[in-house]
Amino acid sequence: MDTSYSIRQATEADIKTIHQLAEAIWGPTYSSILSQEQVDYMFEAIYAEDELAKQLQEGQTYLLLFEQDKPVGFASYSVKDKAASIYKLNKIYLLPGEQGKGHGKVLLSAVEEEVKQHGAHVLDLNVNRYNKAKQFYERCGYQVHQQEDIPIGPYWMNDYVMRKRL
């Protein structure tokens, strides 16, 4: 990744930017594995601006990835189990045109470094069992830890929980 990229922590002032990025990313990411109704429902449940504000208030840390001054991706993480020093990568997304260039690895590494500074020994993430991103996470050192099915409104997220020791 060249030096025209930078990463910084997001604030409440960035909620609109995160929402706009998610709008451009969410459909292309999930339309091949989820129904349009589920994509729309989950987008509103997770990325409505008031939902993003609530996530920040509840302790999710968002990182924004910029190409020069243009936002091209984001990630978020939070504490999963403080006593066991486990953090969770809640989200990591890049605009479709930015995928496959190594930027996801840089953004994921930034999250790993930040959570290690907070005392994490383990980073977990969820990935849909049919999402090709699973191979990306495996290349980055994550392994399937368990499977879980999580209700979200009238729908289900059928996920792998992947884990990496830091």
**What are the residue boundaries of the structural domains of the chain, listed by start?**
5-165
Whether residue 141 has pLDDT greater than 90: yes
| Total-model pTM | 0.94
The topology under which CATH files domain 5-165 is Aminopeptidase (3.40.630)
Give pLDDT, residue 126. 97
CA distance 116 to 112: 6
Average pLDDT rounded to a whole number, residues 35-54: 95
Whether residue 154 has pLDDT greater than 70: yes
Average pLDDT rounded to a whole number, residues 108-122: 97
**Where in 12-103 does DSSP place strands (E)?**
61-67, 70-81, 86-94
Give pLDDT, residue 2. 53
Nearest to 113 by CA among 77, 66, 67, 83: 77
CA distance 137 to 58: 26
Characterize the bridge pairing of strands 5-9 and 155-165.
unpaired
CA distance 6 to 125: 23
Confidence label for 4 from pLDDT (cuts 50, 70 and 90): confident
